[in-house]
């Protein structure tokens, strides 16, 4: 909402615009911008035409000498609507006329020097008239800045009006606020009309189908209209407020809307078919060509103004072309109405027409302004458009509603704000804002709520009015009281933090990706089962909620590769979303907290001199998983190869604890990489932290360290490729009980002497006892027993 401070000054008093802006902001009408019009007209002055001579080499141009008081200026000019002695507007060198968007420079026009430009109203941005120069009043003193001559010395405030304050979408509404803030009286403009018979209701009638959708509907007829441009001051005000000047009739309706907040509509009376206007819902299949030239198919929920022939206007939103006021119009009917905010809002959204009118109706227009605004517009039609106003009005009156009366007590103020505000102070503020004092006692006062303040319904609303007018600065800050309930550190929080720390320790950077992806991204991983679609996505790329984080991370890697990264590691901690299998009422969606990561390329991010070609592989991904499992102190997991469309069947594994699948890792499936235009050789992991949580341990139990020396022995065995290191390790641990406390692989060797499909696995075994030093003999005995068993079991596997 753009507010002209010079316009505002007609209704109330306040100091300068800067003070006004800061007080309004601190009272809840945030001023987003302060725009001084005078700046735009710098170096533009009034000038008297002294001489006009033909241009030596151009028929359509003239050399004009003007006086600006203390000096003469020679300019070249193409206009012809002026004579010697006229006063015109001169844009001097260095000025920037607002309608031209260029800086005036001294120029040579076909061999004649021009030291500025004489301006048309359009070039000055004061109206659309581009036919000739702007001619000023003959009494104007040459050299006077144009801002003074035209009263352009205005400051425009841009207010960010919150949706609850429909009452502040007008100059009078803002004036009510300003008067309260600055203790000023308020002055209303005149709505007195010289009206003459016949009465309006003999000229036109009105009907409404449903008073719940149209709370009030009023009409006035005006005849003898001459449609022409509105006066310059009105055009200037409209344009300062961001509206285009069109004609006196249309401008008056817009002007009164900006003044009172009441949207108005003017029909050409002679184009209305039948004897009455009707406010009704659209009928199936009806269409309307609106003023923007678009033919719209209406739906039954659309509220219309119609005549006997059909729709004329989408009520409160936009008029139609059929009864539009044109240059030929002589008789008009002005409509002032109060439509149901919901009806207007729905139609405005449905047709994509967020008009100035709709914006005001949606936020609530007061039924008590309807007639006043109608008369004000009629008075201006008489004054500025030669109109003869007909006696009386057509008025479909509002449905009687209970007046809202709210009681405000000082104890409630204290309870909510933490400060004392006296009854008298509350009353002063609220009465000045238009509330009525309905009587008070020792504890508090009852206030009647003005119609315009549809947002005020309860005592807390009144307290806010008092608090904001006094300013929140008047409320002292009080420290938060101590707390007496500590929450245990638990839940997802520590698990996610520990996982994040472990991943960073493995050199992964954190990514934050959108929760929605393209369907193709999930399809590439065959992860569309149970996926939840966004009904109204911004684009297809963001149309389905992730069931796995991997597609986003693969995209992150692909992007890095496109940007010539040579090694990259990303992780993300976020939720995935799944339609639940057993759709419980009220809980149709399951959200799982997941950790996922992807890595590609050089292990050290850049080539490292120690090993310039070392590339991340499966075991780097596995190291990351192990780091996370260690960080959350998970029990030992099983690495179980399992069918998973996301991963390469050869190099991937499920991660299982007990019977719970807690995650998977492996090389991204080549088909998925191709589908996603990602490079080969991306390794990835995804852990379900909600599944892992029951196994995680934030506080480990301490275990005493070994007091007796341990004995180390190595064991090497040649086995078939298909035998896993873990299988053999389990044999060693089982057979070695209780003396073998640890066994770990330290070498894997393949070579021609072992034969095709064979490998040598070497294990380091630790023998120890908690209560004595082991003898060489018992270690030797145990070791040979283990070797025999390993050979026997591995051999049995060999035979298969």
Partner 1 sequence: MDERLNALAQRATSELAGATTLEAVEGLRVKYFGRKGELSTISGEMRGIAPAERKALGEALNALRGQVEEAIVSARQRLEIGALESELASARIDVTLPGRGVRIGRTHPVTQTLQDASAIFASMGFAVEHGQEIESEYFNFEALNISSDHPSRDMQDTFYVEGASGKPGQEPSMVLRTHTSPGQIRTMLGRRPPVRVIVPGRVYRRDSDQTHSPMFTQIEGLYVDRAVTFAELKGTLGAFCIAMFGAGTRTRFRPSYFPFTEPSAEVDISCVFCAGRGCRVCKDTGWIEILGSGMVHPNVFRHVAYEPSEVTGFAFGMGVERIAMLRYGIDDLRTLFENDHRFVAQF
Closest distance of CB 548 from partner 1, Å = 16
Q: Tell me if 663 sits within 8 A of 692, measured CB to CB.
A: yes
Does residue number 548 form part of the binding site for partner 1 (CB under 8 A)?
A: no
Does residue number 536 form part of the binding site for partner 1 (CB under 8 A)?
A: yes
Q: What are the CA-CA distances from residue 14 to residues 17, 156, 434, 435 (Å)?
A: 8, 15, 18, 21
CA gap 374, 260 in Å, rounded: 10
Does residue number 483 form part of the binding site for partner 1 (CB under 8 A)?
A: yes
CA gap 13, 155 in Å, rounded: 15
Q: Tell me if 155 sits within 8 A of 35, measured CB to CB.
A: yes
Q: Single out the segment in contact with partner 1 by CB under 8 A; choices: 145-153, 452-460, 657-665, 700-708.
A: 452-460
Closest distance of CB 789 from partner 1, Å = 38
Q: Single out the segment in contact with partner 1 by CB under 8 A; choices: 216-224, 417-425, 704-712, 777-785.
A: 417-425
189-218: which residues touch partner 1 (CB under 8 A)?
A: none
Residue 595 Cα to chain centre, angstroms: 29
577-606: which residues touch partner 1 (CB under 8 A)?
A: 577, 579-580, 583, 586, 588-589, 591, 604-605
Q: Single out the segment in contact with partner 1 by CB under 8 A; choices: 78-86, 309-317, 386-394, 513-521.
A: 513-521
Does residue number 486 form part of the binding site for partner 1 (CB under 8 A)?
A: yes
Q: Single out the segment in contact with partner 1 by CB under 8 A; choices: 303-311, 436-444, 570-578, 643-651.
A: 570-578
Query: Judged by CB under 8 A, which of 151, 537, 612, 755 binds partner 1?
Result: 537
9-38: which residues touch partner 1 (CB under 8 A)?
A: 25-28, 30
Closest distance of CB 680 from partner 1, Å = 18
Does residue number 607 form part of the binding site for partner 1 (CB under 8 A)?
A: no
Does residue number 528 form part of the binding site for partner 1 (CB under 8 A)?
A: no
CA gap 179, 185 in Å, rounded: 6
Strands 509-510 and 332-339, bridge-based pairing: unpaired
Closest distance of CB 768 from partner 1, Å = 31
CA gap 472, 231 in Å, rounded: 43
Residues forming beta bridges with residue 51, ordered by sequence position = 65
If the CB atoms of residues 427 and 565 are measured against partner 1, the closer one turns out to be 565
If the CB atoms of residues 481 and 650 are measured against partner 1, the closer one turns out to be 481
Does residue number 417 form part of the binding site for partner 1 (CB under 8 A)?
A: yes
Dihedral of CA atoms 243, 247, 251, 253 in degrees, nearest 10, equals -130
Q: What are the CA-CA distances from residue 735 to residues 283, 535, 725 (Å)?
A: 87, 60, 15
Closest distance of CB 488 from partner 1, Å = 9
End-to-end CA distance of the chain: 84
The closest of 240, 248, 175, 213 to 361, measured between CA atoms, is 213
Does residue number 612 form part of the binding site for partner 1 (CB under 8 A)?
A: no
Q: With the C-alpha atoms ordered 380, 383, 384, 387, is the resulting torsion angle positive or negative?
A: positive
Does residue number 158 form part of the binding site for partner 1 (CB under 8 A)?
A: no
Residues in CB range of 643: below 8 A, 6 or more apart: 649
Q: Single out the segment in contact with partner 1 by CB under 8 A; choices: 5-13, 176-184, 268-276, 569-577.
A: 569-577
# of chain residues touching partner 1 (CB under 8 A): 96
Does residue number 545 form part of the binding site for partner 1 (CB under 8 A)?
A: yes
Residue 187 Cα to chain centre, angstroms: 38
CA gap 246, 257 in Å, rounded: 15
CA gap 187, 175 in Å, rounded: 9
Does residue number 523 form part of the binding site for partner 1 (CB under 8 A)?
A: no
719-758: which residues touch partner 1 (CB under 8 A)?
A: none
286-345: which residues touch partner 1 (CB under 8 A)?
A: 341-342, 345
If the CB atoms of residues 442 and 484 are measured against partner 1, the closer one turns out to be 484
Query: Judged by CB under 8 A, which of 138, 185, 352, 476 binds partner 1?
Result: 476
Closest distance of CB 519 from partner 1, Å = 13
Closest distance of CB 362 from partner 1, Å = 5
Does residue number 165 form part of the binding site for partner 1 (CB under 8 A)?
A: yes
CA gap 492, 388 in Å, rounded: 76
Closest distance of CB 425 from partner 1, Å = 16
Interface map 754-793 toward partner 1 (x if CB under 8 A): ----------------------------------------
Q: Phi/psi class of residue 631: alpha, beta or left (left: φ > 0; alpha: ψ in -120 to 50)?
A: alpha
Residue 37 dihedral angles phi and psi, to the nearest 5°: -65, -35
């Amino acid at each position: 909402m753009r507010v002209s401070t010079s316009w505002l000054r007609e209704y109330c008093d306040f100091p300068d615009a800067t003070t006004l802006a800061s007080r309004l902001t601190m009272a809840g009408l945030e001023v987003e911008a302060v725009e001084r019009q005078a700046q735009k007209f710098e170096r533009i002055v009034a000038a008297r035409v002294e001489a006009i001579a033909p241009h030596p080499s151009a028929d359509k141009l003239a050399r004009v000498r003007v006086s600006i008081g203390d000096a003469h200026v020679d300019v070249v000019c193409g206009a012809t609507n002026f004579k010697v002695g006229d006063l015109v507007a001169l844009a001097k060198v260095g000025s920037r006329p607002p309608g031209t968007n260029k800086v005036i420079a001294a120029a040579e026009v076909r061999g004649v020097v021009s030291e500025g430009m004489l301006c048309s109203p359009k070039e000055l941005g004061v109206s659309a008239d581009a036919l000739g120069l702007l001619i000023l009043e003959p009494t104007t003193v040459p050299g006077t800045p144009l801002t003074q001559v035209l009263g352009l010395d205005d400051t425009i405030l841009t207010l960010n009006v919150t949706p609850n304050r429909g009452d502040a979408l007008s100059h009078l509404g803002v004036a009510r606020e300003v008067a309260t803030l600055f203790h000023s009286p308020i002055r209303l403009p005149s709505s007195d009309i010289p009206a003459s018979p016949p009465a309006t209701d003999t000229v036109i009638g009105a009907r409404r189908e449903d008073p719940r959708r149209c709370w009030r509907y009023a009409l006035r007829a005006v005849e003898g209209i001459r449609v022409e441009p509105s006066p310059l001051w009105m055009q200037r005000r409209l344009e300062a407020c961001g509206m285009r000047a069109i004609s006196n009739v249309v401008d008056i309706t817009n002007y009164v809307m900006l003044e009172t907040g009441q949207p108005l509509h003017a029909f050409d009376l002679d184009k209305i078919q039948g004897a009455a206007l009707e406010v009704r819902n659209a009928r199936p299949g009806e269409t309307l060509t609106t003023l923007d030239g678009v033919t719209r198919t209406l739906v039954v929920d659309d509220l219309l103004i119609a005549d006997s022939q059909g729709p004329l206007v989408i009520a409160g939103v936009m008029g139609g072309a059929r009864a539009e006021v044109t240059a030929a119009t002589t008789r008009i009917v002005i409509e002032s109405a109060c439509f149901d905010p919901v009806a207007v809002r729905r139609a405005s959204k449905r047709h994509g027409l967020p008009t100035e009118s709709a914006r005001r109706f949606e936020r609530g227009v007061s039924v008590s302004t309807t007639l006043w605004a109608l008369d004000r517009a009629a008075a201006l039609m008489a004054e500025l458009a030669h109109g003869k106003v007909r006696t009386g009005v057509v008025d479909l009156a509002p449905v009687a509603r209970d007046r809202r009366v709210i009681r405000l007590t000082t104890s409630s103020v204290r309870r909510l704000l933490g400060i004392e505000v006296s009854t008298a102070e509350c009353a002063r503020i609220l009465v000045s804002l238009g509330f009525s004092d309905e009587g008070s006692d020792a504890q508090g006062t009852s206030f009647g709520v003005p119609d315009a303040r549809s947002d005020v319904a309860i005592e807390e609303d009144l307290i806010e009015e008092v608090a904001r007018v006094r300013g929140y600065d008047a409320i002292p800050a009080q420290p938060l009281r101590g707390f007496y309930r500590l929450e245990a550190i638990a839940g997802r929080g520590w698990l996610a933090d520990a996982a994040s720390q472990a991943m960073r320790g493995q050199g992964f950077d954190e990514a934050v990706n959108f929760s929605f992806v393209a369907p193709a991204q999930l399809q590439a991983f065959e992860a569309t089962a149970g996926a939840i679609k966004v009904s109204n996505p911004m684009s297809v790329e963001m149309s389905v909620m992730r069931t796995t984080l991997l597609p986003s991370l693969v995209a992150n890697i692909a992007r890095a590769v496109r940007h010539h990264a040579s090694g990259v590691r990303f992780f993300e901690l976020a939720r995935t979303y799944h339609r639940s299998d057993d759709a419980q009422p009220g809980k149709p969606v399951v959200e799982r907290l997941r950790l996922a990561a992807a890595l590609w390329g050089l292990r050290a991010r850049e080539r490292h001199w120690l090993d310039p070609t070392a590339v991340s592989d499966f075991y780097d991904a596995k190291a990351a998983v192990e780091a996370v499992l260690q960080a959350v102190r998970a029990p030992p997991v099983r690495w179980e190869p399992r069918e998973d469309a996301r991963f390469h069947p050869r190099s991937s594994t499920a991660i299982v604890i007990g019977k719970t699948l807690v995650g998977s890792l492996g090389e991204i499936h080549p088909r998925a990489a191709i589908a996603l235009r990602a490079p080969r050789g991306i390794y990835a992991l995804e852990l379900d932290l909600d599944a892992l949580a029951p196994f995680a341990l934030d506080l480990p139990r301490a275990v005493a360290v070994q007091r007796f020396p341990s004995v180390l022995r190595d064991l090497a065995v040649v086995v078939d490729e298909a035998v896993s290191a873990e299988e053999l390790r389990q044999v060693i641990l089982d057979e070695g009980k209780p003396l073998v406390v640890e066994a770990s692989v330290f070498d894997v060797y393949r070579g021609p002497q072992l034969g095709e499909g064979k490998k040598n696995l070497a294990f380091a075994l630790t023998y120890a006892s908690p209560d004595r030093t082991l003898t060489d003999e018992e270690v030797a005995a145990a070791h040979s027993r283990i070797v025999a068993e390993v050979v026997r079991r591995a051999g049995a596997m060999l035979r298969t």
